[in-house]
Structure 1
Amino acid sequence: MSLLLPLEDSPYRLDEFGPIFILGCPRSGTTFLSKCLAAVDGLEEFVGVLAPPRIMHLIGSCEDKPYQKELMNCIRDVFWQSFWRRRYYRHERLLQLLQKNISIAQFMAAPSIDGTKFCYKEPFLCFAAEEFANYFPNARFIHIIRDGRDNADSLERTYPDALSDEVLSDGFLAGNKNSEIGMYRENNGVCVPWWVAKGSEAEFIELPQYGKFIWMWKEMVGRARNVKAVDKSRYFEIRYEDFVKDPMEWAGRILNFLDVPMNERVRKKLKSAFASSIGISLNNQKELQRGIAQKVAGELLAELGYTE
């Protein structure tokens, strides 16, 4: 039953407007995909500042279901406030116009939320994807997956301190946002991320940083794919390599999945796709490192078609 409440007091309605969630490890193409979808007519795209990574870790690791639900209620409230304000506040619409996500005609039109969709991109939502799928029964999920070996290589170069021995050996650093750990437990003076299964601490600690990133990739991809167990009809999986090689084809499939039309603004953004980083770990990582990737996540790599 719908309540006749003002918009600002109606966060319960969020599931009527999408929502759409973009899943994928950091450095796997989520930002490019998100920017393209931001140009879709009637789709309001937001990024990770609304629900920080630490909250995603907390939801994914939480075994207290009532507490987990309250966390989801809080996230829904934040999402809703951002969504309706985007549609009704003039300065918000102006920013979308300047970013070329809407046309002048759309900027001048009377504000409305009818026929619109909420879209959110946060890579670490992967850790809470199943919980989001259960909480938002109308939500759809687009999961972009990159070769874990290339993904780990890019993470190691882009975030040189994340999952490093120095960070994992210092509780203060491990609790920092960019450590990519979330919650952790101590094991022989090392802060082991919560997403490392109990009993596997020693194996994880012994890995080089590249291997730890492969481990994180395996966990994030696996957890995001759990959405299929909730409702496979609401889950769309795409490989990064396929998307950047033929962005127009795959964008068409994604938009069809979301039941939204293509437009010229989306086409223009798709033109910035580039495939030069495919297979980059072959040049940057030694054979030993690639061997570690095979040992840590070989089964998943093969399942996804990432073989030598």
Structure 2
Amino acid sequence: MRDPYEVLGVDRTASADTVKKSYRKLAKMLHPDLNPGDKAAETKFKDVTAAYDLLSDPEKRARFDAGEIDASGAERPQHRYYRDFSGEDEGHAYTSASGFADFADGDDAFAELLRRAQRARANQRGADRHYRLPISLVESITGSTRRVTLPEGDTLDVTLPAGMVDGQTLRLKGKGDLGIGAGGPGDILIEVEVLSDPRFSRDGDDLQLEVPISLSEAVLGSRIRVATPTGDVMMSVPERSNTGTTLRLKGKGAPRRGGGRGDEFVTLKVVLPKEPDPELEAFVSGWQKGKEFNPREGVPS
């Protein structure tokens, strides 16, 4: 933390009244209620408040001037580590209204502003907690319940509604940090990360799936088993199907916001046996029409 005299813009010999006037001037300019959404002003206000809290207390000021404590109020001989700050609020140790409570006794607009801020701090809502939860593509479509272990060791049962998308956030009201007074607890916010699936890819509310079929199934047609997020179904492969033929399974995609579901589109891929098949090779060798057929006819060269 910077030197409190430098933060307030006063000399080390400045009187208590001069310190108060300087703080009041800066606080009027930087107060968060007068600069909504301005994070830089909020940070400076915290610095100014912490500096005034130290210098307005004669005992703290004397100990700081003597080098016994630092600008944060910590004993200089004591080394503080990260764990010492882990339970502290973000910002400085001295961000309460104690150092300028006398300002709130006035009748001007700034005094009323401080009184409102004091009341808000006395009933401050607890902080929200943020987490990220990886889930499978199938879970995002069908929904599920997951038991999550939080970093603190607590467990929480999270209900995932059907039809979630990557980056969507679940809000668990009242599960965050405890508030002060009547402020109430904060919430837990869980951002969902939908993992890729080796079978399905998602396009909006629709799913895409590639399914290999044999040469016999492609030529003669057949009934094959196809995976969907809600379980396998039987699908008819028409006769004389080709690689790239796409079939639709209606209503087997993701839930739509307005109701109903998307579709699953199944793209066929003709696959020959890996091992040599003399019978197949003999048939193809004697298949005259097959030799006459040009599958690349009409394809730009």
Asked if Structure 1 and Structure 2 have the same fold, meaning a TM-score greater than 0.5 normalized by the shorter chain, the answer is no
Q: Which has the higher contact order (CA 8 A, sep 6+)?
A: 1
Give the TM-score, by structure 2 length.
Answer: 0.23
Name the structure where strand makes up a greater proportion of residues: 2
TM-score normalised according to structure 1 size: 0.23
Query: Which structure features the higher share of helix residues?
Result: 1
Bigger Cα Rg:
2
